[in-house]
Structure 1
Amino acid sequence: MDPAFRFDLVISIISFSIALSISFRKNKDKQQTLVSMFSFLVAVVFLLKYAFFTSSTHIWLRICLGLLIPLPLLLLFVISTFLREEDSLSIELYTIQYIFAPILIVGLSTPIFNNREFVWFVISYVYGMLLFTFLNLMYLGFRSSEPSLKRRLFLFAIIGVLTVIFSATSLKIKESLSLYGLNSMFAVIMLVYISESTLNTKLLDIQEFLSRILVLVIISVFISIIYWIFVVLIAERPLDMVLNSFAVSIAIALLFERFREYIMKFISTYITARTRDFIAGIKRLQKEISSIIDADILLRRVVDEIFGSRKVLSCTFYILSEDRTYYRIYYSRGQQNRDRIDNINDRVLIETISEQRQVLIREILEKRYAQEITALEEGSGRSKTQEILVSLERLNSTMLFPIIVENEVYYILSINDSGLADTLNAEEIGAIMELCEQISISLQNLKVFEGIKERDRLAALGEMAAGLAHEIRNPLGAIKGAAQYLNPANLPSEEAEFLKIIIEETDRLNRVLTQFLDYSRPYQGELSVVNLDDVLRQIIRLYLPTQDEKYKCKYSNEAGNTYVRLDVEQFRQVILNIIKNAQEAMPDGGVVDIRVLKDTQIKKKILSSVFSRERDTSDKVSIEIRDYGVGIDDKDLSKVFIPFFTTKKSGTGLGLAISKKIIESQNGRLEISSKKGEGTTLRIILPVVVGGEVQR
């Protein structure tokens, strides 16, 4: 037998190894199953070819050709799993093989098989179909407008064309050992490329592929050297072969993973420079953000670093809105992105990323959708995968990374690398995923740190308030008393006006001081079970007669007779403060809407099953107070509950802070949503008292 044919056995062993390595993976998808089948078929074909040339038994040739005929069709299915729907291979390739493959397979079982020309026709048909498939793939690469996809398709096509050419040539020139070696080398390269691309979920580019081939070659050489040394040692002692082989296998099993990691790290550091630089930048950033104590600086630093790597077209952080109904842009660099991810247009996307809490990559989703589309019935509507892809397209994003804070997807990092010559590879995406985990930890720690600062600040406020009560209120009382004693009626008009100003400003300072004391002191009221509708109607009835006619108050109760536990006096203070703010936001007049909604109605407006930190099954009632005024800027919306923050010229910045504290002390929560130029909605959410507690 010609030594060249031993290369067939080598290819068969490697193909079997690839097929088994993929088959052992859990939860295999369609692509992995097809690649495993393709590798197994190649392994069997080369094994049968080896058997035929060593034994000259024609039954092996017959079976070999029978398995070789469907090989191009199986390759078409494998390639199609890497392509998007709009980049599909020519339909004629499928049609020709659907027609000719069954005919040729039937021909093998008839006497025509004994005709030498028929055998060569079958072989020519197989190689011709393989060649046309790779040429069609090359055409798709030429037509593609994305540089990264173009490079990947060209690489796959060139490897395939060279494999077909050398394999076909080696059949005609059997005496050339070097040609057989090249044939085997390209066959192995193609199989490794397909299998590594499958594990990578997308076709590899030249840099990724060379680094993986280099890792494979170095490890193979290392293992070969170990076995070669042991073979030399046992050359004259064959009885020791079993013991030595067992010992070296254990040594390799112990060293393999560590050695593989070291080789991959070495190649990443010294061979793939751009990947090395990107990952090094991400590692530096991970160390840096652990020492940043301001969330705004942290998030901006992350976006600036990733965008500055020139590996992406845009990088954006989205933040969950105050009312938890959508995500809005927090900070962005690069191409223009949509200003929000909302629960109307992007509901499926929000649900998926909140439930799975994993990175969403458009290329993987496109591959999944291509597999799903054949299973979808006509007229069945969009699948979830298609809905997510549409949302990603609207967002101009190729991948989304969730940032989890307090068991909630609070931020979403959006990255777009489409159209670049050097897109993010699997190693770089992995580095970004590790960075996002670090961001989540850092932001969680900042939350705890902010809570400690808030507690210390309130303690300091309490101490300062006690001093203010003594140091300011006593002089204020004396000033006001003296001003009132002078009696403005007995003074000339100009002096009387000044005296009136003194009294008014003294009252204003006293109100500010009272608010300050209210905010700093702990809650000391008593809660009682009341009918919410009765309380709200009474507040509105007493408040409306004192207001300007240009303001109207529209009240509606869609929750019926709902009982809640409240401190009525403090609750009245909250409602009146919110109504007053609403009217001040509409200087030319307008309508203030007050609505009471049941828990089920709240869920229609807020995706509580998606956004809630804990699945609270208790009944809730919501009081929504909405104005149609100037609205609040997004940059100010997160600060409205911070004490002393105000956008008004004469405001103290304590009204909403006190309101929030009162509502939280009554087991509720206060939320706000606003849009500049459209108005603001304050939402008070309270637990409903059940029937037995109402009777008590």
Structure 2
Amino acid sequence: MNTLTISSLFCTFVALTFALVTAFKSTKEKQYRWFTILCATISLWNLFFFFSHTFNSILLERVHLLLTLTLAPCSAYFFLQVIDHPKNFTLIYILGFLAALGIVLPPDQLWIFKYTSYVYAVSIVSYTFFLLTQHLRKAKLGIQERKRQIYLVLGGWGTLLMLIFDQFSEAGFPFPAIGNVVLIIYLYFIYQTITKRKILDLEDLVAKGVLFSILAGILTLVYVILVSWVEGPALFLFNTFVASFVILILFESIKTLAERITTQFFLKTRIKIEEKIENLQNNLIGISDLRDLIDTVLIGLKDSLKATQAHFFLLDPEGIKFKLIQSLEPDPSKTKVTEVPISHDFIKYSQKRYPQPVSTYLINREIVEGGSNTPKEKLKNTLQLFDLLPAECVLPFILEGKMLGFCTFINEKSDIAYPLNELKLLTPLARQIAQGLKNLEIYDKIRERDRLATLGEMSAGLAHEIRNPLGAIKGAAQYLQPTMENMTQNEFLKIIVDEVDRLNTVVTQFLNYAKPFQQNLAETNLDELLKKALQTATADFPSNIKLSYHADSEIPLAAVDPQQMNQVFLNLIRNAVQAMPEGGELKVSLKSAKDSLQIVFEDTGLGISPENIKNLFIPFFTTKEEGSGLGLPICQKILKAHGGTIQVESTLQKGTKFIITIPSKKS
């Protein structure tokens, strides 16, 4: 039994293992299915070679040669469908059938069938790799896809050459019989490419090969020491059991040690990247400012992954889109994408893949291979956004199922895409950034609460100091009014009184906004409360204003402060009326959702410009001549205190819609 025979048995089991593992992963995708068939055929081909040479059986050799004729078209079909290159196999099948007729030749002429089979197989596989080479030269491929196909072609030619050398070695020529070993390495490379959806770097391949060799060598040594010297069958079984038991105990420790050794010798670059990412994570600890956090992340990506461009997006307060906050780019003005809707396929795909990293190479592989749960059209839409940014990878920040933001990056100076193992190092970093963003949100709320508490204390004293002179001014003006006969002076005194009243109202509103609310929550029927507010407000309605009100038949109670909620309703009703100086219609509706109540105030007035909508809830911002700019901020503060929200939708010259959402009692 020579080296070629032993290596064929080894290749039989390895190829069968690849076939079974790939079949368990998926048989729906073409590449998985045909790689399983290819590995199974190679396994049978080697198995019958081993048996025919071990038992010197002519019959088994005939079966081996028939499998050689089968292996050729099977290999051709697999490799051509990898590059999506359909080919008519009719002529190949006919030639294979004619060659298979040699199976009936007598034993002394079997060499004719043997060499015919080998020439047929080598010719078909050579022609296949020739087509792959031609496709590689002509096709417009991405960097990673070109790299993948170059490896595929070069590895294929090399493996075919080694298998031919095996036949020369069998015939007595001084060639090394390493074809089956090279074939195993090549199958492993293909397996990694189609199952991990990545190209194995050369250093990866060497590191894994050394790791497997060390593990196999150490475990074999243990087995040999405990079993090889035993002669009696009973003692042999006992020592085999002991050897297996020792191997199971030592395996994890040996594997860890071997991984550490191979990593230090072959993966030094990855160790440096891992250290830099750990330093980045340490630098993020204790950051309490959003800008500092973003700067640290962008600079960290530049330092660790050599990113030439990076973009940091955050979810806007309304939760409807992600906005660009900061870029790592030589010229930020050239950034084409500043907003990404939350409904975009890019966002959905990033959430779906989490916590796995997302890169353009992975998406391209899904498009080429098919079998993905995501439709190809959506994958292409995702790639379009990657191209616009531009970006190669996206790092989503997801916490408790909610995407708070994301960061994209690319190294434009490198032709090699980021390896999957490097991208996986970013998963803990993404979780830490998401938690950091959440902590900053809580910190900002605490800081805002403290600021408002301090402002409330100051405003109470300020209001007291302002109101005292205001009361004196108003009293003096009213005292002088009846004694004056000059109508002009009376008008001026009336202006003083009116302005004092207005200033007193502003001071009161400011005080209400600044100080913490004292809520008196009660289970309230918002339908009745809203009707009362409308009844109160309609007393002052102009005749050209039309009012309509609709409420669902079943409205659950809500835990609110009736007085504060009435203040919100009246403010929004009066705003709507003031927005329709030429008349119009005010539609008010109350709806019950799953766990909340929704109240909508919709007018047909002048509308609000997009620029002004952004500032509506900023204190003292107003578009009215006599407005204080505190009405809507107070409304927003009241609703937030109730766990609710207020949103605005407006179109110029068409009208405005204010949407209030309040948790219902059943929630």
TM-score normalised by L of structure 2: 0.78
Contact 1:19-1:40 at 8 Å conserved across structures: yes
What's the CA shift string for 1:405-451, capped at 9, x where partnerless? 45422323445579941211121121122221222233333344444
Equivalent AA in structure 1 for residue 406 of structure 2: I
1:515-530 equivalences under 5 Å are 515-518=510-513, 519-524=515-520, 527-530=524-527
Matched residue, 1:395: 385
Pick which of 654-663 and 26-35 moved more.
Answer: 26-35
What's the CA shift string for 1:245-276, capped at 9, x where partnerless? 43343333334344434544554455334433
SS where residue 598 of structure 2 aligns? strand
1:345-384 equivalences under 5 Å are 346=344, 350=347, 357-359=354-356, 360-370=358-368, 372=370, 384=374
Equivalent AA in structure 2 for residue 630 of structure 1: S
Q: Which has the larger radius of gyration?
A: 2
Q: Offset of 1:161 from its aligned partner?
A: 0.6
Query: Any stretches of 5+ residues in structure 1 without a counterpart?
Result: 376-382, 547-551, 601-615, 691-696
Matched residue, 2:127: 132
Give distance in 2, aligned partners of 1:149 and 1:623.
Answer: 53
The answer to whether residue 183 in structure 2 is matched with residue 187 in structure 1 is yes
Match of 2:431 among 417, 420, 437: 437
SS where residue 92 of structure 1 aligns? coil
Matched residue, 2:274: 279
SS where residue 70 of structure 1 aligns? helix
Match of 1:149 among 142, 145, 152: 145
Matched residue, 1:67: 67
The answer to whether residue 600 in structure 2 is matched with residue 623 in structure 1 is yes
Equivalent AA in structure 2 for residue 326 of structure 1: K
Q: Offset of 1:150 from its aligned partner?
A: 2.1
Equivalent AA in structure 2 for residue 341 of structure 1: V
The answer to which structure, 1 or 2, has the higher relative contact order (CA under 8 A, 6+ apart) is: 1
Pick which of 331-340 and 402-411 moved more.
Answer: 331-340
Give distance in 2, aligned partners of 1:221 and 1:591.
Answer: 91
Pick which of 435-444 and 555-564 moved more.
Answer: 555-564
Q: Offset of 1:164 from its aligned partner?
A: 0.1
1:106-121 equivalences under 5 Å are 107=101, 110-111=104-105, 116-121=111-116
Distance 1:184 1:686, change over 3 A: same
SS where residue 331 of structure 1 aligns? strand
Q: Work out the percentage of aligned pairs sharing the same amino acid.
A: 22
Matched residue, 2:645: 669
Give distance in 2, aligned partners of 1:76 and 1:622.
Answer: 66
Distance 1:491 1:299, change over 3 A: farther
Contact 2:608-2:650 at 8 Å conserved across structures: no
Distance 1:148 1:351, change over 3 A: closer
Distance 1:53 1:673, change over 3 A: farther
Distance 1:44 1:647, change over 3 A: farther
Equivalent AA in structure 2 for residue 66 of structure 1: L
Give distance in 2, aligned partners of 1:591 and 1:111.
Answer: 103
1:511-590 equivalences under 5 Å are 511-518=506-513, 519-524=515-520, 527-530=524-527, 534=531, 541=538, 545=542, 570-571=564-565, 573-574=567-568, 577=571
Give distance in 2, aligned partners of 1:590 and 1:257.
Answer: 82
Contact 2:394-2:409 at 8 Å conserved across structures: yes
Give distance in 1, aligned partners of 2:171 and 2:144.
Answer: 41
Distance 1:573 1:674, change over 3 A: same
Contact 1:289-1:298 at 8 Å conserved across structures: yes
Give distance in 2, aligned partners of 1:130 and 1:406.
Answer: 52
Distance 1:336 1:665, change over 3 A: closer
Equivalent AA in structure 1 for residue 87 of structure 2: E
1:28-177 equivalences under 5 Å are 31-76=31-76, 78-79=78-79, 87-89=83-85, 91-92=86-87, 96-97=91-92, 100-101=95-96, 103=97, 107=101, 110-111=104-105, 116-142=111-137, 143-174=139-170
What's the CA shift string for 1:138-164, capped at 9, x where partnerless? 444444442333222212211111110
SS where residue 403 of structure 1 aligns? strand
SS where residue 284 of structure 1 aligns? helix
Pick which of 127-136 and 103-112 moved more.
Answer: 103-112
Pick which of 237-246 and 483-492 moved more.
Answer: 483-492
Distance 1:505 1:476, change over 3 A: closer
Q: Offset of 1:165 from its aligned partner?
A: 1.0
SS where residue 314 of structure 2 aligns? strand
1:286-301 equivalences under 5 Å are 286-301=281-296
Pick which of 470-479 and 561-570 moved more.
Answer: 561-570
Query: Any stretches of 5+ residues in structure 2 without a counterpart?
Result: none
1:247-258 equivalences under 5 Å are 247-258=242-253
Q: Offset of 1:73 from its aligned partner?
A: 4.2
Give distance in 2, aligned partners of 1:321 and 1:448.
Answer: 16
TM-score normalised by L of structure 1: 0.75
Matched residue, 1:329: 324
Equivalent AA in structure 1 for residue 427 of structure 2: M
Give distance in 2, aligned partners of 1:301 and 1:340.
Answer: 22
Pick which of 160-169 and 193-202 moved more.
Answer: 193-202
The answer to whether residue 390 in structure 2 is matched with residue 422 in structure 1 is no
Match of 2:300 among 298, 305, 310: 305
Give distance in 2, aligned partners of 1:3 and 1:190.
Answer: 19
Matched residue, 1:339: 338
Q: Offset of 1:475 from its aligned partner?
A: 4.6
What's the CA shift string for 1:584-628, capped at 9, x where partnerless? 9x9x9999996656769xxxxxxxxxxxxxxx7346434165874
The answer to whether residue 213 in structure 2 is matched with residue 217 in structure 1 is yes
Q: Offset of 1:541 from its aligned partner?
A: 4.5
Equivalent AA in structure 2 for residue 129 of structure 1: I
Matched residue, 1:659: 635
